């Protein structure tokens, strides 16, 4: 009996003990709750209002109300009611005045072309689309479990002059349209039952930053970031490889940790170097005490045995996985992608991993047909893929920092990058934008050099040299591993300007062979051809015309400062110390329709049009940059009414010889001259042109151009058969007008209409016509010289998308695209 009583008392003791909160378990639960860094895509379900709305500046905290907040009840937030007592006259949210959009979004491309030369920084350069002011608004909830964390919002790019409010609080303003902006939301959010949250973004795009089409709106991604209050700072890691050999690469890791607690913290920092399969190659551990409200940089050193080098041909990547721990619990994680490679730019050229590496680059603005500057990731990837297929190995971001996803793609796909600062400015704001680009981008192995500016008017001046010196010094401090250039088109030998640069960039240095003359005259100068060519042509056109605003693909017309496509590469081969070049441009882009103005609304500089359809010059660079046997003849052979007239046939090739045949009869064989066109004068007869390319006396390739019959059918060609059901992925669908025999009709301009069924939508159409004023947001488009394009984006449902294309009197067609998780 006594034993039984003791046993029951013991059971009661343990039962009562179990009711006492276990501080260790509570701490473990709390640490688990706050350990995972969350980077949440914030692109979906915004509302957009086009036009200005007056918002009077508040003189009390939280005093904006109206559009900047939601209706707050006494039950949910008594303090808010008091704070908003004086804002009865604030602008009220009226849902009927807004439309739902997902980001990225460019409202400018949705507009109507206007013959107004006051638009933009100079007549015609912005493409005759008005800009203006717009607002973006989003309501969202934050769970109670996020209370105690650090929350911020990152805008990758807003064009431009953006102002942000959250829950009635003005958070700040960011002028630049090309650098990211970040706002700490922690204090102004409502958590759990406190109520809904509202973010309002005003975008004032009435002013410009460049001389090209720049768009309007939140045109890049938005991210909601959640971390512990002790975390890796924004752009907080810097990974370099100071020494590299075949056996080992040393890895330097610098990590900036930020403590936003009001007490000192003792932390452990673990950095794991992993390969692309996730195998841990090295682990480095450090401990550190971090004072309250302080940031501390911790330097670590690791190593990779038998490193795989990064290059455009072998884009091998590694990662540093960062773990921050306190009392044995992980409180933050972070990932940094990097590559192992050496880049040296000297008087002998560009050397990648110790070998001379001629840079085969293109200059690029960041717009595309149908969507303006609001490019889904897939479209950036599509453009880069086209460039890689051409033989290009480098990409110049003209003339501003790109979206960060593009740099990730260049790392992964293998393209060198010249990352470019927007403007030559040593003002507080100018330095801030430069520093942001450098801190954000410096871990990318694809970036081989920084550019401080492009063709600034004050190049070669004493003042310009002082400003440049400040920017170069800033760059060297933040990233001492890369050299610095500037893209110069004048005054290279004046004012001491060039002396401030590691590498002097030559835009159009082929004029009077300036880059060769200066190379001999200045024995310490390192040079690079930052921009070349500027050959204007309109896809499918072979007679230049002021009246039609078109430029021939066959002859140099206006402007006359550049060579034929491909000829610029001859200088790089002859003078390898130039390092390589960047062709102006790969793709046509909106605005700057040199040599025209209205009604031309798009550039003619690209060797592809704004849809990515190749012009004839495309094949000049394919011939120059690849070993793939290439023969390309032009013009087309549909010249009704010109029978008996003289027509010159042009050919780009990398073969030894090319033989041309008309209707089966040889009209002569010509020996190829490297990087030069071949030309045959012919008397036009309808039929079949055939060019045969020979190497070492053996025919290795051919090209055929035939006279077609009238348009008879529409064909669709999607770049993919399957896309992700994520609301983001895109299928690029080429539309081709063909005759009854399936041959592309090179002059066809039929109107093609589209219908779509299933789990997707049309987000844009285009045709590469630089003079077309058709809307880009439509379900139809006229073909231009045989081609047009439709862009189809998935929604978030698994299924299929069926796109039909039809045109009056032509046989229609359809394509089916599956959407998958």
Q: How many CB atoms lie within 10 A of CB 63?
A: 19
CA 649 – CA 667 distance, rounded (Å): 11
Going from the C-alpha of 364 to that of each of 384, 420, 719, the distances in angstroms are 10, 11, 22
Taking CA atoms, 396 is separated from 220, 254, 423, 530, 605, in Å, by: 19, 28, 15, 8, 15
* List 531, 567, 659, 690, catalytic entry: 531
Residues, the chain: 821
Answer positive or negative: Cα dihedral of 684, 690, 693, 697. negative
Q: Is 757 a catalytic residue?
A: no
* Residue 3 CA from chain centroid, whole number: 79
* Residue 674: other Cβ atoms inside 10 A: 14
> What are the beta bridge partners of residue 320?
273, 336
- Examine the residue annotation and report whether 531 is marked as an active-site residue of this protein: yes
DSSP codes joined into one string, 78-109: HHHHHHTTT-TTSPPP-GGG-EEE-SS--SGG
* Strand order across the beta sheet in which 657-662 lies: 665-671, 657-662, 688-695, 698-706
Helical H runs in 205-346? none
Nearest-5° angle of CA 135, CA 137, CA 139? Answer: 175
DSSP H helical ranges for 290-376: none
Q: Residues 171, 173, 177, 181: is their CA dihedral positive or negative?
A: negative
User: Which one from 455, 567, 592, 659 is the annotated catalytic residue?
Assistant: 455
- Compute how many other C-beta atoms are within 10 angstroms of the C-beta atom of residue 505: 28
CB-count exposure of residue 658 (10 Å: 0-12, 13-18, 19+): buried
d(CA 58, CA 486): 43
Interacting residues of 247 by C-beta distance below 8 A, sequence separation 6+: 305, 306
- Catalytic residues, by residue number, are 455, 531
């Amino acid at each position: 009996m006594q034993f039984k009583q003791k046993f029951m008392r013991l059971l009661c003791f343990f039962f009562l003990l179990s009711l006492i909160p276990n501080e260790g378990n509570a701490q473990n639960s709390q640490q688990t709750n706050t350990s995972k860094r969350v980077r949440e895509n914030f692109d979906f379900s915004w509302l957009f209002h086009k036009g200005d709305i007056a918002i009077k500046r508040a003189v009390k905290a939280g005093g904006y109300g109206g559009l900047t907040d939601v209706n707050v009840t006494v039950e949910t937030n008594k303090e808010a009611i008091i704070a908003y007592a004086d804002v009865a006259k604030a602008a009220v949210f009226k849902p009927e005045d807004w439309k739902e959009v997902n980001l990225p979004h460019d409202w400018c491309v949705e507009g109507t072309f206007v013959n107004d030369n006051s638009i933009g920084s100079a007549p015609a350069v912005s493409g005759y689309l008005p800009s203006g002011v717009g607002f973006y608004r989003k309501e969202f909830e934050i769970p109670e479990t996020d209370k105690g964390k650090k929350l911020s919002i990152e805008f990758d790019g807003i064009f431009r002059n953006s102002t942000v409010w959250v829950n009635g609080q003005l958070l700040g303003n960011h002028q630049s349209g090309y650098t990211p902006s970040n706002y700490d939301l922690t204090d102004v959010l409502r958590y759990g039952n406190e109520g809904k949250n509202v973010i309002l973004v005003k975008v004032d795009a009435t002013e410009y930053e460049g001389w090209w089409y720049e768009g309007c709106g939140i045109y890049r991604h938005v991210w909601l970031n959640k971390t512990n209050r002790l975390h890796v700072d924004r752009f907080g890691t810097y990974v370099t490889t100071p020494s590299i050999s075949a056996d080992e690469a040393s890895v330097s890791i610098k990590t900036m940790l930020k403590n936003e607690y009001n007490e000192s913290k003792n932390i452990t920092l673990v950095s794991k170097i992993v390969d692309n399969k996730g195998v841990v190659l090295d682990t480095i551990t450090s401990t550190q005490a971090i004072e309250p409200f302080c940031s501390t940089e911790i330097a670590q050193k690791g190593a990779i045995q038998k490193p795989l080098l990064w290059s455009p041909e072998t884009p091998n990547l590694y990662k540093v996985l960062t773990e921050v721990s306190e009392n044995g619990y992980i409180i933050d994680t972070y990932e940094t992608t990097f590559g192992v490679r050496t880049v040296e730019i000297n008087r002998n050229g560009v050397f990648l991993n110790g070998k001379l590496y001629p840079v085969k680059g293109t200059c690029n603005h960041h717009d595309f047909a149908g969507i303006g500057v609001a490019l889904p990731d897939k479209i950036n990837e599509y453009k880069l893929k086209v460039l890689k297929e051409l033989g290009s190995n480098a990409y110049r971001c003209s003339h501003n920092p790109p979206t960060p996803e593009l740099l990730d793609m260049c790392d992964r796909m293998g393209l060198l990058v010249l990352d470019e600062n927007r403007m030559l400015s040593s003002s507080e704001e100018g330095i801030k934008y430069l520093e942001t680009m450098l801190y954000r981008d410096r871990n990318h192995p694809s970036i081989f050099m920084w550019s401080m500016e492009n063709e600034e008017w004050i190049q070669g001046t004493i003042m310009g040299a002082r400003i440049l010196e400040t920017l170069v010094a800033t760059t060297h401090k933040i990233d001492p591993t890369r050299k610095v250039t500037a893209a110069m088109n004048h005054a290279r030998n004046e004012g001491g300007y060039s002396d401030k640069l590691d590498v002097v960039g030559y835009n159009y240095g082929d004029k009077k062979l300036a880059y060769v003359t200066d190379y001999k005259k200045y024995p310490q100068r390192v040079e690079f051809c930052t921009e070349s060519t500027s050959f204007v042509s309109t896809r499918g056109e072979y007679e230049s015309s002021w009246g039609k605003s078109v430029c021939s693909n066959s002859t140099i017309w206006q402007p006359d400062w550049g060579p034929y496509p491909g000829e610029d590469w001859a200088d790089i081969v002859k003078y390898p110390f130039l390092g390589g070049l960047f062709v102006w441009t790969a793709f046509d882009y909106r605005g700057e329709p040199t040599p025209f103005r209205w009604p031309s609304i798009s550039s003619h500089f690209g060797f592809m049009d704004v849809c990515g359809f190749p012009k004839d010059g495309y094949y000049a660079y394919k011939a120059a940059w690849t070993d793939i046997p290439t023969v390309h003849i032009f013009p087309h052979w549909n010249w009704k009414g010109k029978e008996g007239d003289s027509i010159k046939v042009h050919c780009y090739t990398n073969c030894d010889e090319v033989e041309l045949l008309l209707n089966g009869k040889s009209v002569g064989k010509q020996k190829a001259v490297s990087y030069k066109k071949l030309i045959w004068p012919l008397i036009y007869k309808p039929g079949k042109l055939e060019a045969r390319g020979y190497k070492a006396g053996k025919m290795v390739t051919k090209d055929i151009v035939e006279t077609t019959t009238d348009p008879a059918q529409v064909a669709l060609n999607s770049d993919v058969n399957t896309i992700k059901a994520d609301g983001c992925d895109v299928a690029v669908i080429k539309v081709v007008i063909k005759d009854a025999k399936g041959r592309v009709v090179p002059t066809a301009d039929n109107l093609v209409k589209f219908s779509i069924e299933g789990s997707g939508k049309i987000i844009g159409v285009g045709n590469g016509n630089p003079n077309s004023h058709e809307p880009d947001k439509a379900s139809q488009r006229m073909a231009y010289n045989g081609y047009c394009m439709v862009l189809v984006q998935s929604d978030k449902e698994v299924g299929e998308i069926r796109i039909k294309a039809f045109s009056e009197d032509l046989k229609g067609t359809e394509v089916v695209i599956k959407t998958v998780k």
